[in-house]
Amino acid sequence: MYTFDKSNEMFLRATRLIPTGVAGNKNPIFSIPRAFPVFAERGEGCRYWDVDGNAYIDFLCGFGPIVLGYNYKKVDDAFDAQRRMGSAFNHPTERTVELAEKLVELIPSAEWATFGRNGSDVTTYAVQAAREKTQRRKVIIAKGAYHGSHAWCTPREGGIIEEDKRHVLTFTWNDATELEDLVSKHKGDVACVMLTPHHHPSFAEQALPAPGFWADVRHICDEHDIVLVCDDIRDGFRLSINGSAEYFGIQPDMTCFCKAMANGYTLSAIVGTDEIKTAAAKVFFTGTYYSAGAEIAASLATLEELEKQDAVDHMMKMGNMLCMGLTTLAENHGLQIKMTGPPTIPFLTFANERDFRRNQLFSKECACRGVLFHPHHNWFIMYAHKEKDIQQALDVADAAFAVVKREFGS
């Protein structure tokens, strides 16, 4: 049986010096306190070891960035080769131009690209570019959507003043009529609509776009000269090598990427159409690490490898195997579950559950048997997951479902 003593001790140590001990959704309060890892040791392929030496088949993938696998040699070699030449230079390297060229080649709506470090860098940049282009103030997002930790979009209240969010409005995902009403109410003042390709709130089922939803959103934006931003930070390169807008038939003006684009190295990107390039160029966007080249080299290698291995196709197959397997197993145990989201970004909820107690027990029982499924946040598939890993995860899930059935009865 797995124990988490070292993780728990380290967390106590951390709380003495680091505000909250561990930030954001990596804090134990967000998972299962004392029954889930809190500190990491190492990773290899689809396996992850925590500080207690517990090994897991990992379905969190670092909350998204690990798309090929941990320690993926071709990516790490590309990173190392560039790093050996130096990092954080006075100026960008040729790799920056190459990656912009690569994104423009891959992403149908991209005619330019620029880079940040975290996802929030580029969602904020998108808002500024849209405001510059339209000379308007309002930003519309879906209720429950996450677009980052900056003042305009953080889900928490600490340090936020009313003015930070005064111009951020929300509507219900998949409800184009509600969006249209909101736009009409704020006619002439809406700069952009920012949406994720599919809806993936925490502590909730995921939702795919309803047929026609994205076309309606595009139409509303066109009617009102509003900039449409696709936040592809979580889905990007897990649904299509050409970006999730291509997968769902979306035509955004700008698209944000991060997570999977560099297989774990710190990089984000924003791409856009020529129409918004002049406005985007007016936004002051730089940083200490803007010129660091190694992460960009890692991203080039990641995209090349995803393409060469047809990795998305493989991940879709593995995701389908996992989702179908879990559905069958739960049925066999007389449990009602729902798998939501795309196969490569799945999430499991129990039909008759309101406060996630079944999810927590299920994830806890899986974790202590060596499979990491998060109870409240969507999961991820990586290319390193092979059939035998999915089968092993299903065997563990079978045992965990038995415990849930015993504890809750249905």
Answer for which of 149, 170, 242, 392 binds ligand PMP (CB under 6 A) is: 149
Is 231 a binding residue for ligand PMP by CB under 6 A? The answer is yes
β-sheet with 47-50: strand ranges across: 40-44, 47-50, 55-58, 371-372
Is 209 a binding residue for ligand PMP by CB under 6 A? The answer is no
Instruction: Provide, rounded to whole angstroms, the least separation between the CB of residue 119 and ligand PMP.
Output: 2
* CA quadruple 257, 197, 240, 102: dihedral sign: negative
d(CA 209, CA 149): 24
Q: Of the two residues 347 and 401, which places its CB atom closer to ligand PMP in the complex?
A: 347
Instruction: Provide, rounded to whole angstroms, the least separation between the CB of residue 172 and ligand PMP.
Output: 18
3-state secondary structure (DSSP) of residue 270: strand
Instruction: Provide, rounded to whole angstroms, the least separation between the CB of residue 168 and ligand PMP.
Output: 14
Q: Of the two residues 116 and 325, which places its CB atom closer to ligand PMP in the complex?
A: 116
CA dihedral 355, 359, 362, 363 (to 10 degrees): -120
Q: Of the two residues 54 and 244, which places its CB atom closer to ligand PMP in the complex?
A: 244
Is 146 a binding residue for ligand PMP by CB under 6 A? The answer is yes
Closest by CA position to 408, among listed 327, 326, 347, 330: 330
Per-residue contact string for residues 96-135; x = within reach of ligand PMP by CB under 6 A: ----------------------xxx--x------------
How does 29-57 read in b/e, with b if 16+ C-beta sit within 10 Å?
ebbbeebbbbbeeebebbbbbbbbebbbb
Q: 25-30 — which CB contacts under 8 Å span 24+ positions?
A: 25/63, 25/202, 25/377, 26/63, 30/376, 30/377
- Residues between 319 and 338 that touch ligand PMP (CB under 6 A): none
Instruction: Provide, rounded to whole angstroms, the least separation between the CB of residue 115 and ligand PMP.
Output: 13
Instruction: Provide, rounded to whole angstroms, the least separation between the CB of residue 324 and ligand PMP.
Output: 26
Q: Which residue is nearest to ligand PMP (CB)?
A: 119
List of residues contacting ligand PMP (CB under 6 A):
118-120, 123, 146-149, 196, 231, 233-234, 258
